[in-house]
Amino acid sequence: MMKIYPIIAAIGLLITVISVLKKSPFFNFIGLLTLIYGLLKSVGIITAPFPAQVMTMYMCMSVFSLFIYFSIQESTFDALLEPMRAVLADDNKRILRVLIVFIALPLFAGYLTFDKVKPNYEPPVSARIVHPEPVSSIEFRGKPITIIGLENPLRKDAPNMAKNLEAGKKIYYQNCFYCHGDDLDGRGHLALGFNPVPPPFRGTDTIAQLPESFVFWRIAKGWRGLPAGSTPWNSAMPSFEDFLTEDEIWQVTLFIYEATGNKPRS
Amino acid sequence: MADVSPSKSLIKGVIKLTLFLGIGFAVLFILNKVLAAPTEDGYRFFPVIGSRVWVWVIAQLHLNFAAFVLGVPIFAVSMEFIGWRRNDERLDRIAYDFTKLFTLAYTLTAAVGTILLISLPVLYPKFIDHLMKILGPTWWVYVVVMYVETLVCYYYFYSWKQMKGNKKGKHVALGGLLNIMGMTMLLITSAWVGYMTTPGGVSDTGELINRWHAIKTYMWIPLSLHRLVANVVFGAGIAAAYAAYRFITAENDEQRAYYDWMGYTSAMISIGFSLILPGVGYMLGVEIYTFNEQMGIQLMGGFFAWLWVMQAILIGAILMFVNYYLWISLNKMPGGERYFKYVKFLFIVNLLSYAVWLTPHSIALSLEEARRMGAYHPVLGSLGVMASKNTAVVVSYMATFLSFTIFKISNKEPVVSWAKLGHAIRAFVIVGSTVAAIAIGIYSYMVTSAVRVKILSPIQFGIFFLSIIILFVLDSMMYKGAKIIGEPKWGKMPERSQYALIGITVTFTWLMAMMGYMRSGGRQFWHVYGIMKDTSPDAYLPTHGYAAVVSSIVTVIFFALIGLLFWSIMKLEKASEKGGAKT
């Protein structure tokens, strides 16, 4: 199925080239939109396809922007509208009018309606928020801890840094790597059992964007501690306060930053 | 309409304002007697739509009108001043037209303000009691300033024709006073909102400790600055929409030429000031983070993250409209056709920047999509972060500035001997600053967020501002005494260009409503964050869809009222013309 999209892009390019040679803004418009659609969908061949919502946003933006571009000069704008005017008004285009206005468009609208209302067993789309807002304080095994402004106390303990990192590594491979991966890339051997899959720690867009207090909170409380204001979270993260001590959580936090070359947000 | 004598106008202003306040207090008194007592925790309920939505709609409408009447005088008086110093009648006329707009809008502002004045104490008596206890004296200062401002405003408008010639200086000074009053009102209202969102000067239980600290909160100055700039942007936008409306309904070429020029001037003021908005917005964000990191994360990356995507969509659309308007305007410039070859490149740059800017980081996904994508999409995950978005914003603004530049120089030929060198310097500055902004954007991925936020992003914006200053100075020198190919053919614009101006203003208004919701929603279930809880049935955040619907309804109502204002102005003008006195 994916292989059809480069062909669509090629058709779009062909229409664009021919319409430029023939000086037809209308088909240039159609060709460019087809090209953009084909290219965006072709991303799915190399990596994960763009989600439907992002596709909709990009295509709406393209239609809006191209319409802007083709209406700058009077002659281009007139030529853009001319085929539409002709189909709607010219006497010699009656058959085309019937085909487009009275058959193709109603059928298309009918298809869209059917697609919307047909029985569907997929759960509804959810607006997933990657970084929930942290709570101001938590109770860790009955002890109140203020999360906002909290720093990793082990970072100040320079003489024992290597020891703490080693301990953190051990904790990681005993508890976390099943889901978050041997290489901390979110591809643990249980990862595909979850939907969505667990986040990676590598890269610049997860723990690199967060202060360590946030990571401490997430490890300690897991899915149970997520704020109700922005559900659903779709998280299966356990509450590690049931299994690890406060120091152990700081040690593993130290390790995941060190191992991925990331620095906590300050 | 301007044939009322200045002294009579003062009486008219006092009567009108007193009438509104009188009605407000009288209705408040009656409603408090007639309505059932508030609930134990201090609420009454507005029928059908609920108290929150009612106050939300009225407050946003009032804010829109207030933004308009506080923003327009800033540039109206500036133009009157420049017109006076340069002895330019056309500038004086446009300043007068701007003044006509905001003077008439005062009545609508006061009317909506009166409804808000009644609604808040009736529906939220306990909360308003608390606000009065903490910030009560500022309210009375507000009333006094409001009176002075209304009087100055009426006198300023109705004395326009009498205070010409050697009295012009005094008239301009009066306009200055009007702006001082406006800014004072803005500072007072920002103090109220600042206290609600980032409170200070009170104990944990809400007892007043220090009133000045309750006024001087984290949010106070940055919010005031943000509003001040946004008011000018918005006010000029409305003036542009007015000019567009008058252009479309113009009956002769003279009117079309004037309103075309007015629309262009207003739109450029609006967009020019909007360049400062990201900077002051950034400052506001830093203050919110400093006050409470939790609130900062929620507003920037948590529940409200989607509204930033909405903001990007809307601002991107505004920039497209602005560029479109400028590109179309090349058609009316003799020599403009020479620059059309650059338009396609500017369009591509704008389109790509727009695409990056609106790419969301948090994406609405079906389970199947989430499974295929993982935590982040490899492409979208990189485009949806601040490093790329800041770069896209800077590049997009640079392209827009270039569109403005080519419009400005399109009917001129430089005559200075170093013109070729000047063109080369211009190309170097444009390419150099764009490459630098993109390079910094790429480097931003490799550093900690603190370095990106505190050092690299300000440098990116700094490069942009520095390059536009250099280009501005360079062009001023290069085109001094330049050969004019022909004067702009004002009025020779297709009607669709005017819809772009209206589109800019509608989008601004919608954006203001969405951002207003976001600023208010940041408090979550608190009337005063961390001090006074909202215990009403509305103490939850509505869905973004619901908030978007309310914001859209507010925008529609606002434009219906603005339409009424434009219609009234035209009707009054016609009546005045029939009466023999031209306005």
If we measure between CA atoms, which residue out of B11, B12, B26 comes closest to residue B117?
B26
Q: Is B34 on the interface with A (CB under 8 A)?
A: no
pLDDT at B53: 95
Residue A229 C-alpha, separation from nearest chain B C-alpha, in angstroms = 7
Q: Is B544 on the interface with A (CB under 8 A)?
A: yes
Does residue B57 have a pLDDT over 90?
A: yes
Q: Sorting pLDDT into bands at 50, 70 and 90, what band is B15?
A: confident
The mean pLDDT value of chain A amounts to: 89
Q: Is A71 on the interface with B (CB under 8 A)?
A: yes
Q: Is A204 on the interface with B (CB under 8 A)?
A: yes
pLDDT at A245: 95
pLDDT at B299: 82
Determine the straight-line distance between the first and last CA of chain B, rounded to whole angstroms. Answer: 7
| Residue pair B236/B225 in contact by the 8 Å Cβ criterion | no
Among A42, A66, A72, the strongest candidate for a mutation testing the B interface, having the largest count of B CBs within 10 A, is A72
Mean pLDDT of B290-311: 81
Among B310, B449, B523, the strongest candidate for a mutation testing the A interface, having the largest count of A CBs within 10 A, is B449
Mean pLDDT of B516-534: 90
Does residue A195 have a pLDDT over 90?
A: no
Residue listed under structure tokens 């609604």: B119
If we measure between CA atoms, which residue out of B217, B377, B392, B242 comes closest to residue B316?
B392
| pTM strictly above 0.90 | no
Q: Please report, as a single letter, which amino acid is at residue B60.
A: Q
The interface predicted TM-score of the complex, written ipTM, equals 0.85
Mean pLDDT of A118-145: 79
Does residue B8 have a pLDDT over 80?
A: no
Q: Return all residues near B11 (Cβ < 8 A) that are at least 6 apart.
A: none
Q: B 284-343 residues with CB below 8 A of A?
A: 292-295, 297-298, 301-303, 305-306, 313, 316-317, 320-321, 323-324, 327-328, 331, 340, 343
Residue B538: phi and psi, rounded to 5, are -90, 10
Query: What residues of B are in contact with residue A206 (Cβ under 8 Å)?
Result: 375-376
What is the C-alpha to C-alpha distance for residues B206 and B201, in angstroms, rounded to an integer? 9
What is the C-alpha to C-alpha distance for residues B93 and B261, in angstroms, rounded to an integer? 12
Interface touch B302/A129, C-beta < 8 Å: yes
Does residue A232 have a pLDDT over 60?
A: no
pLDDT at B369: 83
Closest A-chain CA to B322 = A68
pLDDT at B583: 40
Pick from B359, B369, B448: CB nearest A266: B448
The mean pLDDT value of chain B amounts to: 89
Q: What are the CA-CA distances from residue A209 to residues A90, A129, A147 (Å)?
A: 60, 14, 16
Interface touch A51/B327, C-beta < 8 Å: no
Q: A 78-137 residues with CB below 8 A of B?
A: 122-123, 125-136
pLDDT at B491: 92
**Which tens digits make up the pLDDT trace of B453-478?**
788 888 998 999 999 999 999 999 99
Interface touch A51/B373, C-beta < 8 Å: yes
Interface touch B331/A230, C-beta < 8 Å: no
| Residue pair B360/B430 in contact by the 8 Å Cβ criterion | no
Pick from B320, B364, B445: CB nearest A125: B364
Q: A 129-148 residues with CB below 8 A of B?
A: 129-136, 148
B520-523: long-range pairs with CB below 8 Å, 24+: B520/B56, B521/B303, B521/B304, B521/B547, B522/B197, B522/B288, B522/B295, B522/B298, B522/B299, B522/B304, B523/B196, B523/B197
Pick from A52, A74, A186: CB nearest B494: A74
How many Cα atoms occupy the beta-carbon half-sphere of A119 within 13 Å?
0
Mean pLDDT of A136-145: 88
Pick from B297, B358, B373: CB nearest A48: B373
pLDDT at B124: 94
Q: Is A45 on the interface with B (CB under 8 A)?
A: no
Q: Is A50 on the interface with B (CB under 8 A)?
A: yes
Tokens coding B551: 């914001």
What is the C-alpha to C-alpha distance for residues B264 and B227, in angstroms, rounded to an integer? 23
Mean pLDDT of B54-69: 94
What is the C-alpha to C-alpha distance for residues B193 and B363, in angstroms, rounded to an integer? 31
Pick from B305, B347, B351: CB nearest A129: B305
**Which tens digits make up the pLDDT trace of B216-233?**
999 999 999 999 999 999
Among A20, A204, A237, A262, the strongest candidate for a mutation testing the B interface, having the largest count of B CBs within 10 A, is A204
pLDDT at B504: 93
Mean pLDDT of B297-309: 79
Report the share of chain B in percent with pLDDT over 70: 97
Q: Sorting pLDDT into bands at 50, 70 and 90, what band is B543?
A: confident
The DSSP bridge pattern shows strands B364-365 and B412-413 to be: unpaired
pLDDT at B582: 43
Closest A-chain CA to B329 = A72
Residue A63 C-alpha, separation from nearest chain B C-alpha, in angstroms = 11
Mean pLDDT of B506-525: 91
Mean pLDDT of B547-574: 92
Interface touch A195/B385, C-beta < 8 Å: no
Mean pLDDT of B510-524: 91
Among A69, A74, A78, A263, the strongest candidate for a mutation testing the B interface, having the largest count of B CBs within 10 A, is A69
Interface touch A130/B306, C-beta < 8 Å: no
Query: What residues of A are in contact with residue B301 (Cβ under 8 Å)?
Result: 129-131, 133, 209
Interface touch A148/B293, C-beta < 8 Å: yes
Interface touch B377/A51, C-beta < 8 Å: yes
Mean pLDDT of A150-179: 94
Among B351, B501, B541, the strongest candidate for a mutation testing the A interface, having the largest count of A CBs within 10 A, is B351
Query: What residues of B are in contact with residue A129 (Cβ under 8 Å)?
Result: 301-303, 305, 362
Q: Which residue has the higher pLDDT, B414 or B382?
A: B414
Q: Return all residues near A224 (Cβ < 8 A) that are at least 6 apart.
A: A239
